[in-house]
Amino acid sequence: MSPVPTPIVQASGLSKTYGSGETAITALDDVSVDFRAGELTAIMGPSGSGKSTLMHCIAGLDRADAGTVTIDGVEITDLDDRHLTELRRDRIGFVFQAFNLLPVLTAEENILLPLTIAGREPDPEWLEQLVTTIGLGDRRHHRPSELSGGQQQRVAVARALASRPAVVFADEPTGNLDSRSSDEILGLLRHSVDGLGQSVVMVTHDPHAASFADRLLVLKDGRIVHDGPAGGADDVHERLRETSDPTPTA
Amino acid sequence: MRALLLRGLRSHVRRTLMTALAVVLGVALVSGTLVYTDTIDRSFDNLTQATTRGADVIVTPNSEQGVDSFGSDPPQMPRDVLDKVRGADGVREAIGVVGSQQLVVFEKNGRDRLGSGFAPGVLSGDEPNADWFGSTRYASGHAPRADDEIALDRKAAEKGGYALGDEVPVQLAGPQRKLRLVGTVELDGVGSFGGATVAITTQPTAVALASRTPRNYYNTVAVRRDPGVSAQQLEASVRRAVGGEATVRTGEAEASKQAKDIQDNLSFLPTILLVFAGIATFVGAFLIFNTFSITVAQRQREHALLRALGATRGQVRRQVLGESLAIGVIGSVVGVAAGLLVAPGLRSLMASFGVDFPSTSTVFAPRTIVVGLLVGILVTMISSFVPANRATRVPPVEALREAAAPPARGRVRRGGVIAGAVLAAIGTALLLLAVTGTIDGDGGSAAAGVGAALLFIGTALLSPILVAPLAALVGGPMTRIFGLPGRLARDNAVRQPGRTAVTAAALMVGLALMVFATVFASGMRETLRGDLEQAVDAPVVVQSRDGGMSSLPPELPAVLRRDPAVRAAGAMSFVSVKAGGEQMSLNLADPGVFDQGLLRLHTADGRQVRDPGPGEVLLGEGDAEKLRATTGGTIVVTGANTRRQQLRVIGVIADAGFTMDGSWVSTATARRLADPRPAFVLVRTDERPQELERSLQRDYPGAEVQSKDDWIGTQTKQVDQLLMMVYALLALSVIVAFFGIVNTLSLSIAERIREIGLLRAVGATQRQVRRMVTVEALITALLGATLGVVLGFVLATAVGVTIDGFALTVPIVSIVILVVLAGLAGVLAARPPARRAARIDVLVAIGDE
Ligand SMILES: Nc1ncnc2c1ncn2[C@@H]1O[C@H](COP(=O)(O)OP(=O)(O)O)[C@@H](O)[C@H]1O
Ligand SMILES: [Mg+2]
């Protein structure tokens, strides 16, 4: 391990504009940011500030108009769809807000999905460890419809970790969950960083969720307006208040 | 509500179009059939009117209604009829026409017949100055004046590449002759008389070609009236003059009688084609049903919201039915119009099988429009009725639920399965009643049709329970080959068993009928082969080069017998007669055919059949049963020429087999009833077929000499021809089913956008997604194929076992080919939805919507 953590994802000069002319919306405005390995980063910001767009661009789901993205040493800007897909498959894990699992597959099959897609044999010990970590127990052969929302989301986290990706992206992973389930998921993500050495980038608008992170990025109008340690939930509130409009509404 | 309806149609243009397409195809075939057959009828009307136009009265031979002249020439009148007519009051002019429908006009090589299939070669020997009769117009040249001259219809001359002055080889009775082409004719602007080859010669030449005798001479006598005499007066006086010897009608009456006869003879054509149109429409109904079922399921929330907002059940039902009405109307209108394109297609299809009827100007009758619209709209409405009802049962609370993901595993509706079993049972019972003859005649056909339809619907309703096991069967190897895509495809196919089942069932119908036809045809082929092999004991058979379609000159057996190497030769021919009020086909045997063992058949007591003598008949088992006649009894038959003949039954043949089952009289006996022509000649000779053929080359180059085995081969090939035609007509149903797969998959994929997006997000390549969709289509298609093969086989067996001596065979190769083709069709059908699935935007799919 080198003493200085190397960036696992590097974005530089990312810009993205939707529409054109008078109705054009700048979703990302020349954003440059590095994500370090072994860190849990929370991205926050008001609705429409460009969080999802940033995440989609740095995760290879969408293309920026300008700028470059390097994931785990691979520059993805010019990759074609197939290589981009394979990169997602092998080097990136995803947790979405909802609809993370294929209804026809069992929980365990869903966890192994990225490996199965790649045609790789799963490592049984690793699978055991994942199943144990997410506390699925005897429900591993159930289908998603037979699991609670929290259980489903835990399966999704395990799925994201299954291929030991370089980085896990989570877009509002707790958006649809009650506070107990939320804490379980956030604990899991935290554990994946601390216990398994994962790197996680999480978009959220919940300060409590952000307080689980090492680092807090705040976006506004497509720019990064804050970058620093996350601290507790109160600190997060403070950062958000500082970066919001001088005349706050409600 | 109406605005909502339109919005719904517009926002699902693709689905609406696909569904409408199913209606279009079925209706187009219905409308096309009507246009095609109406056009034929009208063309024949025009032609018969044209060919009788100049005559006020036409005298024709007495002929028995309902007896066709298959295998023989229609009857003729004695020569003196013309003199009697000329002696009648009010006759200004009368001419006689000597003709035949058995003329063979050859191509330039003198060997192959000009024109093909069933279209006859019509010979007409006119008297000089007969140009007032009919509207025969010379397109080039002039009417034959010398006895070695001939005129052909323009189409025939073009087909044969004949120019004025060329020698045209022709044959009817006697050695082949070469006549010089001096003119080409058009019949009322039509180049061709329904594919028939029309040849005109001088009357003496026609008499010689057809070997007419004074007793059997004229086909037609045409009469023109004196000024001041009406056609009716002329008719009466001519009738008085000819006595009962011939039939006298006004020109008009004769034209409409001929047209009606032709229509009656062709009535099988619209019936058969409409059956196939009905099948395509029936398959379309599956597609419509499926589309509406899926969309109703997908719009559950929309309907629930409507209900929550106060819409009544009736309003929801009307919304769905309104949509189906719109689709029905659009599809039917387009379908009726498309019929105009289908009609020429049908015509060339039939022509490619040698059935070429005239079609002068396209007839688009109001009846066609009405029938087409009714069929299309009714089928659409009926097919959408069940889905519409299902829509009304959505509870309003559904609206408040989370956006439902499509279920991972759908349930099989028990009610559906029970209903399916009941319908299948009723269908089977009806089919059994029909094939065993318990219900016969038109009722039997109806029972068979309804029975088959019920069996298909029943199987479709039953088949959801088969989806899972069959998908496992097919999906197992797919998973092994394709990995995850195969696995997901299998699971996806099983998710909505009803949906997959109905999609597969649509394919099942077409395929079952194809398999039925294949198994039946293959059984027929083997039965025919077996029967012929057993009965025919001649090493060599002579028939015309067109596969025996045209007859042979009557003297050919005698010519063959003069060959020193030939030990026995006898012709077989056929005539139709009436017995017991129904048409019956008689087989005719030349002397020696049985006595010299060219054919070997036995009666029930094991005795070999001998040649029937004058006034004797050997009954086939079927005829004996139908006529309730036994050995020693008599039957009375009436020939096409209205003559009655009492025949003594000298035996009942027991071992002829299904295809050879028929009654036999001597050729001489049959000559009193009709004008039979040899269909083929059975020969016992020491020569090889090639040697015998060479010896016939000069006078009979159109005769083909084959070994018994080769000849049996050409006979069975006709069964294959028929099978090809059935395939071609069923193809449209399969195409409709194909659209069904496209449609169902497209709708299912629209439903699974998020799943596919997720798959793509976590690393499935476009190719893997395409594969997943393709394999699902493959599973569906193979499911349909499996069901179709089983059902088709069961149907063929059911029909086969009721036929005595039917050799049931399993045409494995053909069936495998059909299944593989079905699979390929499935793969092809998957292409558009697979491509769309692969292109699904990951971001849209995983978005918050
Ligand atoms: N597909 C799109 N088309 C047009 N505008 C879009 C699209 N996606 C996002 N936007 C706009 O870009 C801006 C940033 O959106 P997004 O990244 O989704 O913000 P956040 O996730 O922070 O709410 C918003 O103004 C949004 O309306
Ligand atoms: Mg967002």
Nearest atom within ligand 1 for CA of residue A55: 17
Lowest mean pLDDT among A25-29, A185-189, B448-452, B624-628: B448-452
**Mean pLDDT of the residues in chain B:** 86
Nearest CA distance, B801 vs chain A (angstrom): 46
Kindly state whether A220 is in contact with chain B, defined as any CB-CB distance less than 8 angstroms.
no
* Structural domain spans, chain B: 1-51+270-401, 63-244, 531-717
- CA B420 from chain centre, in angstroms, equals 31
What is the Cα A26 distance to its own chain's centre?
22
Asked, for residue A204, whether it belongs to a domain, the answer is yes
Residue A195 sits at φ, ψ, to 5 deg, of -90, -35
Kindly indicate the confidence band of residue B471, based on its pLDDT and cuts at 50, 70 and 90: confident
Per-residue pLDDT, averaged over B328-357, amounts to 87
Q: Which of A24, A12, A98, A26 is nearest to A58 (CA)?
A: A12
**∠B395-B399-B402 over CA atoms, to 5°?**
120
8 A C-beta contact, residue B184 and residue B166: no
pLDDT at A249: 43
Q: Which residues pair with B202 in a beta bridge?
A: B126
* Nearest atom in ligand 1 to A28's CA: 14
Measured between CA atoms, the residue of chain A closest to residue B752 is A102
Residue-number span of the structural domain to which A83 is assigned:
38-60+78-242
pLDDT over threshold 90, residue B334 = yes
**Alpha-carbon gap, residue B340 to B30, rounded angstroms:** 11
- For residue A85, the chain B residues in CB contact (below 8 A) are 760, 763-766
At B556-579, the pLDDT tens digits run 999 999 999 999 999 999 999 999
Q: What is the pLDDT of residue A97?
A: 83
Residue nearest to atom 6 of ligand 1 (CA): A18
Distance CA(B527)–CA(B525), nearest Å, equals 5
Residue A113 within a domain: yes
pLDDT tens column, B188-247: 655 556 667 889 999 999 999 998 999 889 999 999 999 999 999 999 999 999 988 899
B634-638 and B644-652: which strand pairing?
antiparallel
- Domain tally, chain A: 1
Instruction: Indicate whether residue A14 lines ligand 1 (CB < 6 A).
Output: no
| Type and span of the H or E element at B465 | helix B464-482
List CB contacts (< 8 A) between B409 and chain A. 104, 143
Contact B761 A61 (CB under 8 A): yes
Residues of A in contact with B846 (CB under 8 A): 61, 96, 99
Kind and range of the H or E element at B232?
A: helix B231-242
What is the average pLDDT across A50-57? 90
Look at B763 and A89 and tell me if their CB atoms are within 8 Å. Answer: yes
A residues 151-190 closer than 8 Å to B (CB): 159
**How many angstroms separate the CA atoms of A204 and A183, rounded?**
13
Token pair for B98: 């000597």
Least confident of A96-105, A108-117, B662-671, B776-785: A96-105
The one-letter amino acid at B7: R
Please give the Cα distance from B149 to B203 (Å, whole number). 11
Long-range contacts of residues B344-353, Cβ cutoff 8 Å, at least 24 apart: B344/B36, B345/B32, B346/B32, B346/B33, B346/B36, B346/B273, B347/B36, B349/B725, B349/B728, B349/B729, B351/B195, B353/B117, B353/B721, B353/B724, B353/B725
Q: Cβ contact (<8 Å) for A99 and B495?
A: no
CA separation for the pair B760, B614 (Å, rounded): 86
Query: What is the per-residue pLDDT across B254-289, written as a single tens digit (0 to 9) for each?
Result: 888 888 888 887 888 888 888 888 888 888 888 888
- CB within 8 Å: B758 and A117: no
Chain A neighbors of B483, CB-CB under 8 A: 116, 119
Cα–Cα distances in Å, from A177 out to A97, A232, A238, B136, B510? Answer: 9, 21, 24, 91, 51
Token pair, residue B689, equals: 């077929």
In a domain, A250, yes or no: no
Mind listing the pLDDT tens digit for each residue in B481-521?
A: 878 888 888 888 888 888 888 888 888 988 998 999 998 88
Is A115 inside a domain boundary? yes
Task: Please state the ipTM of this predicted complex.
Answer: 0.84
- CB pair distance less than 8 Å for A104 and B491: yes
Amino acid in the structure at residue A30: D
Q: What is the 3-state secondary structure (H, E, C) of A108-157?
A: HHHHCHHHHHHCCCCCHHHHHHHHHHCCCHHHCCCCHHHCCHHHHHHHHH
Q: How confident is the model at residue B338, as a pLDDT?
A: 93
CA distance B106 to A130: 86
Please, what's the b/e burial string for B798-820 (b: 16 or more CB within 10 A of its CB; e: otherwise)? Answer: bbbeebeebbbbebeebbeebbe
**Which of these, B630, B599, B602, B598, lies nearest to B617 by C-alpha position?**
B630
- Rounded percentage of chain B residues whose pLDDT exceeds 90: 34
State the DSSP H helix or E strand holding residue B772, giving kind and residue range, or none if neither.
helix B766-801
Residue B486's H or E segment, with its range, is helix B484-495
Query: What CATH number should be reported for the domain holding residue A103?
Result: 3.40.50.300
- Assess if residue A214 is contained within a domain: yes
The number of beta carbons lying within 10 Å of the beta carbon of residue B72 is 25
Beta strands B91-100 and B220-225 are antiparallel
Helices (H) then strands (E): counts for chain B: 27, 22
Proportion of chain B above pLDDT 70, given as a percent = 93
CA atoms within 13 A of residue B457's CA, in its CB half-sphere: 17
Own/partner long-range contacts of B606-610 (Cβ < 8 Å, ≥24 apart): B607/B651, B609/B651, B609/B653, B609/B664
Give the chain B residue nearest A113 (alpha carbons).
B762
